Structure 1
Amino acid sequence: MKVYGTHICIDCRNYQALQARRGFAADFVDITENTANLKEFLALRDHDPVFAPVRERGGIGIPLFVNEDGRKTFDVDEALGWIGQPPVQPEEIAEQRPACGVGGCR
C-alpha cells in the first residue's frame, strides 16, 4: 500500500503514528518533501474521479491510500482492511482535533 500525505496534516500524522505503533509495512509519500512527490500526487488529484468531491469542497485529499491493485480511498479503516489490519480504535488516535472555537471547524 502507498499512502500520500504530509507531516503538517493531523490525519496523516495520526496514520503514521498508527503505522509505527502497529508495525505494518506501507510506503508513505510526503507530498511536501520535494516537487517530484508533489507532482506524483497532483497527477492523481487532477485526473482521478475519486477526487471530484474533494476538489468540489476545496479539499486537498490526504491522506490518500492506494492499494497495490490500484484502488484508492480516503478511509483509513478501508485501507487497513486491505492489508489485514483491524480498524482504528479511539485509543489509537495520537492527536485529537482541537475543539471548535473562533473561526469555526473545517
Structure 2
Amino acid sequence: MIKLFISSLCPDCPAALDYVKKHGIKVQIIDITSSMKALKFYLKYRDRHPYFKSIKREGKVGVPLFMIDNGRRFYTLEEFSRL
C-alpha cells in the first residue's frame, strides 16, 4: 500500500492528489494537519530519517510525501511519477 502524506495547507499537495486520482493509483491519504496523532507520527518519522536532511535544511516540511511499504519514499511528484 502506498501512503500519501499531505497537508490541507500545502500548496503542492493538490497536484499530488490529482495525479493519483488521474492515474487510478490507490493510496492511503494521511493529512498531517488533520490531527495531532497524524502530525506526531509524520514528524517522528521525518526527524529521524536521513532522507529528509536536505528537505529540512531548506526549511520545508516534506509533503507531499509518497511512501511505499517497502520503505521507498518520494518527496516530489516527479520522483514518484518515474516509478
TM-score (norm. length: structure 1): 0.69
Partner AA of 2:33 in structure 1:
T
Task: Tell me which stretches of 4 or more aligned residues in structure 1 moved more than 4 Å.
Answer: none
Unpaired runs of at least 5, structure 1:
83-106
Higher strand share: 2
Aligned length: 82
Match of 1:78 in 2: 79
The higher radius of gyration belongs to 1
Match of 1:61 in 2: 62
Unpaired runs of at least 5, structure 2:
none
- Identical amino acids, percent of aligned pairs: 28
Mapped to 2, the partners of 1:72 and 1:24 lie a distance apart of 16
Structure with more contact order per residue of length (Cα contacts < 8 Å, sep ≥ 6): 2
Partner AA of 2:32 in structure 1:
I
Mapped to 1, the partners of 2:3 and 2:82 lie a distance apart of 14
Instruction: Please give the root-mean-square deviation of Cα atoms over the aligned residues, in Å.
Output: 1.4
